[in-house]
Structure 1
Amino acid sequence: MKWSELKVHTTNEAIEPVSNILHESGASGVVIVDPMDLDKDDVTLFGSVYELDPTNYPDEGVYIKAYLPMNSFLGETVDAIKESINNLVKFDIDIGENNITISEVNEEEWSTAWKKYYKPVKISEKITIIPTWEEYEPVSSDEIIIELDPGMAFGTGTHPTTVLSIQALEQYVNEGDVVYDVGSGSGVLTIAAALLGASHIKAFDLDEIAVKSTTINVKLNHVQDRMEAKQNNLLNGVEPGADLIVSNILAEIILQFVDDAYHKLNPGGYFITSGIIQGKKNEVKEQLELNGFDIIEVNQMEDWISMVAKKPE
């Protein structure tokens, strides 16, 4: 089968909504090509991504590559994708250059070429993320290894929003905690919570592909006995009882369920939010405080913000 690679030149802010548009349009995989991955200091203070070729990366913004089967509907699909991405500006999302190009790839190239973007990376004091096809030897006895198969959909955890989330989990997850992961994506935060000692993790995502990806990666890391993945809209219909809720998602989405998160947390529980751009920082902070949370930490990596809020005991 022949495939067409659709490449969108956009912004970090638009990664999540553009990726969702591509998935909903039938893309069999999405690759995020972020030049920040080339900067050892920017990716993480703890390690780096190795052997990446700078010529594959844009000077600014990101490339989002999607793979669509070449058929008689391809033209209509591409037109619909362009229209949906253009409509993101109505939601105050910066789509940057929004330059879209299409090229043809054969199935063999499609199934292997994207792997060159993913290498092992140490993202916190304890945690290193490795793609399944890479060989890696731990450098210390207490190093925690997360093995991921991104499934050409959600990356391998090196984006600053994920790094910030995992660093917060490392600090606030306690042995035996019940954790809710809202917008689980590849399941990397679910896995991190389990390996850090959580006794039970519920992973929720509206995207069926994400739920499948989470399930696969959880099994790869042998923590399936402590988690459940479910297709769900945020925390709608979810029972209270979490000691910690983590959500690496757009600020606009976080704002929609702050109140729900507060009521689903046990007293003294933590709400870790990430995926917040600078322009939304104050709005998210105010909403958290308005709903009763105490702000414990505000952290930043590159242009991204994460917050740790606590429900009073």
Structure 2
Amino acid sequence: MSDWVEISVIAENGEAAESVAQILQRYAYQGVSVEQLDIPPDTDDGEVPPPQRMVVRGYLPQNERIEAVKEEINAVLSLASQLVPFAMPEYRVVREEDWAEAWKVHYHPIRIGRKLVVRPLWTEAELQPDDIEIALDPGMAFGTGTHPTTQLCLEALEDMVRPATQILDLGCGSGILAIAAAKLGASHIWALDIDPIAVEAAQANCEQNGVADKITVQTGSLDSVITSARRFDLVVVNILAKIILQLCEQRLGETVRPGGRAIFSGIIESQVEEVEAALRKTGLEPSGRRQIGDWVLIEAYRPST
């Protein structure tokens, strides 16, 4: 039975966190997680404070190459830290039997927006009468509610979802956004991800939250949507700016019905203008922004004519 090495890097802002995540994704098993540090559990006023610091985590197999891998990671991060502010990595060994549980200690119930409460399955949250609870076990899939990009999407969905809304969640991760949309009243959500592990986690979370009848979770990509000829009232894309740019070149705007809307998150402030220009080229018109710290969500619509 093999052990694992957890690597964690504290970044001072969103730009630094994205830089670290892009580096660690080359090495970490099943990707990395990015979370906001120091979130007060169950914030009374429903407002999650702007992120001051982020932590990026990943897991490396502890094998005969681990010391060489750590040396390489340290060297690459050392160079990158000269451009953006973050600390050098910390490492700790996690036993195989504890690996699946190790990251759970970092997650607690949080309030987002006016009435959304996101809690891990292994904890309980104190709810108000009008609260909408989302209970998650994200597994190794992205989407726990602690990342500002996810928080921005949840706040946008709370404002934008209406009864009978047909929604596409492209890159669904743990399913958190699809579940929120279903509980906010959307009629149906098509949740796609290219990662089978994410699809499995999302399906389990949909069932846990009692909304599996309103959400279709499948392994798939933008091409799956384009070739299906399906178009949506609201499209949600919470990935990374560079992926959104690539998708714009692959007819992303066609997924939105004329008159429909879309939200794009995973974008840092310095990338906004480039992303908005790409959205215009794919037939969408940016109409608003939401921001937490360095992270920005772009709202857009597809003109009716």
Q: How does the TM-score come out when normalised to structure 2?
A: 0.81
Task: Supply the distance in 2 between the matched residues of 1:252 and 1:146 (Cα, whole angstroms).
Answer: 29
Q: Which amino acid aligns with 1:3?
A: W
User: Could you tell which deviates more after superposition, 236-245 or 10-19?
Assistant: 10-19
Q: Does residue 149 of structure 1 match 2:140? A: no
From 88, 109, 112, the counterpart of 1:123: 112
CA distance in 2, matches of 1:187, 1:296: 26
Contact kept in structure 1, 2:41 and 2:108, CA below 8 Å? no
1:222 matched to 2:210? The reply is: yes
Counterpart position of 2:37: 35
In structure 1, how many angstroms separate the alpha carbons of the residues matched to 2:195 and 2:22? 8
Cα shift at 1:38: 5.2
Q: Is the 8 A contact 2:14 2:293 kept in 1?
A: no
Q: Which moved more, 1:203-212 or 1:264-273?
A: 203-212
Change (3 A) 1:226 1:199: same
* 2:61 maps to which of 69, 73, 95: 69
Matched, 1:236 2:236: no
Tell me the secondary structure at the aligned position of residue 89 of structure 2: strand
User: Match for 2:255 among 257, 264, 271?
Assistant: 264
SS in 2 for 1:175: coil
Shift of 1:271: 0.9
| Structure 2 residue 8 is the aligned partner of structure 1 residue 7 | yes
Structure-2 change in CA distance of 1:217 and 1:76 (3 Å): farther
Deviation per CA, 1:242-287: give whole Å up to 9, x if none.
1110111212221222362321211111011112111111222233
Aligned residues, how many? 296
Structure 2 counterpart of 1:189: 177
Alpha carbons of structure 1 residues 166 and 174: separation in structure 2 relative to 1, 3 Å: same
Alpha carbons of structure 1 residues 196 and 17: separation in structure 2 relative to 1, 3 Å: farther
Distance 1:110 1:300, change over 3 A: same
Change (3 A) 1:205 1:155: closer
Q: CA deviation at 1:227?
A: 1.9
Letter in 2 for 1:114: W
Task: Describe the superposition over 1:59-81 as per-residue Cα deviations: whole angstroms up to 9, x where unpaired.
Answer: 96533222333233434655676
Write the distance in 2 (CA, Å) between the matches of 1:174 and 1:139. Answer: 22
The equivalent of 1:295 in structure 2 is 286
Determine the structure 2 residue equivalent to 1:251: 241
For the residue of structure 2 that corresponds to 1:99, the secondary structure is coil
> Counterpart amino acid of 1:131?
P
Amino acid at match of 2:273: N
* Compared CA separation, residues 110 and 281, structure 1 to 2 (3 A): same
Identity over aligned pairs, percent:
38
8 A Cα contact 2:14 2:268, kept in partner: no
Matches within 5 A, 1:53-202: 61-75=53-67, 78=70, 96-97=85-86, 99-107=88-96, 109-140=98-129, 142-202=130-190
CA contact (8 A) 2:166 2:233 kept: yes
Offset of residue 176 of structure 1: 1.8
Alignment root-mean-square deviation, CA: 3.3
Contact 2:138 2:202 in 1 (8 A): no
Give SS of 2:213's match.
helix
Task: After superposing the two structures, state which structure 1 stretch, 204-213 or 269-278, moved more.
Answer: 204-213
Closer/same/farther in 2, CA of residues 231 and 130 from structure 1, 3 Å limit:
same
CA distance in 1, matches of 2:158, 2:16: 27
Q: Tell me the residue number matched to 1:305.
A: 296
Is the CA contact 2:35–2:55 (under 8 Å) kept in the aligned structure 1? yes
Letter paired with 2:37: P
Compared CA separation, residues 217 and 84, structure 1 to 2 (3 A): farther
TM-score by length of 1: 0.79
Aligned residue type for 2:232: A
Q: Tell me how far apart the structure 1 counterparts of residues 186 and 176 of structure 2 sit (CA, whole Å).
A: 14
Q: Which amino acid aligns with 1:72?
A: E
